């Protein structure tokens, strides 16, 4: 099941589809930024960006903001993101800021507090991203990395709209795997 985009024009909210070692989410972000910057040394990854150096610099500015608890509905027995649900992160095209959603449990993304039809719901962001990408599994580190890469692609991407699943899959294949 491909999850629909959670974007809107003013504030791009990432769809859902990425540790559990006891470090804080800030520690995870620091490590993820370093990995993503390293990914750009791979020519296959760098070619997916118009200006890889600008993207590398932008990565240092990725932060967290509370974008709200993700919410889902049950449609024909399937869990789908509610319209305008907060997502994994956000690229603001006006300020060009990138923030991950602090309401995601980045330390243990498989155990993220959400709501389903208004009731408390445990959202497994790792399984959802694996499903979205069509890959067997996604680790916590990989979830954060692909989210940052996807936001950087909004900023300086060269291969099309990163909310297109095929573009996000290309980022996954070219940069992470």
Q: Determine, following the binding rule CB under 5 A, whether residue 168 of this chain makes contact with Zn ion.
A: no
Segment lying near Zn ion (by CB under 5 A), choices 33-41, 125-133, 160-168, 169-177? 160-168
Looking only at the bridges linking them, the beta strands covering 78-81 and 71-75 are antiparallel
Can you tell me which of 39, 48, 145, 163 binds Zn ion, judged by CB under 5 A? Answer: 163
Minimum CB separation from Zn ion for residue 135, in Å?
A: 19
Of 8-16, 34-42, 103-111, 117-125, the segment contacting Zn ion by CB under 5 A is 8-16
The residue among 12 and 28 lying less far from Zn ion, judged by its C-beta, is 12
**39 binds Zn ion per the rule CB under 5 A:** no
Residues in the interface with Zn ion (CB under 5 A) total 3
Tell me: does residue 12 bind Zn ion (CB under 5 A): yes
Residues 6+ apart with CB under 8 A from 11: 90, 92
Least Cβ distance, residue 7 to Zn ion (angstroms) = 5
Residue with Cβ nearer Zn ion (14 or 48):
14
Q: Which residue is nearest to Zn ion (CB)?
A: 163
Q: For binding to Zn ion (CB under 5 A), which residues are involved? A: 12, 14, 163
């Amino acid at each position: 099941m491909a999850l629909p985009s959670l974007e809107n024009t003013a504030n791009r909210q990432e769809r859902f589809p990425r540790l559990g070692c006891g470090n804080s989410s800030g520690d995870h972000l620091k490590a993820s930024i370093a990995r993503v910057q390293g990914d750009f040394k791979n020519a296959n990854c760098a070619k997916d960006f118009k200006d890889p150096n600008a993207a590398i610099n932008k990565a240092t500015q990725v932060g967290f903001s509370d974008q709200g608890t993700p919410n889902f509905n049950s449609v024909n027995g399937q869990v789908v993101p509610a319209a305008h649900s907060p997502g994994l992160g956000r690229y603001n095209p006006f300020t060009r800021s990138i923030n991950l959603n602090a309401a995601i449990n980045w330390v243990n993304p498989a155990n993220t507090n959400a709501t389903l039809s208004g009731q408390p719901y445990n959202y497994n962001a790792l399984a959802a991203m694996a499903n979205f990408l069509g890959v067997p599994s996604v680790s916590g580190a990989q979830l954060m990395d692909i989210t940052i890469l996807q936001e950087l692609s909004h900023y300086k991407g060269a291969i099309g709209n990163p909310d297109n699943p095929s573009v996000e899959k290309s980022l996954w294949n070219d940069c992470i795997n």
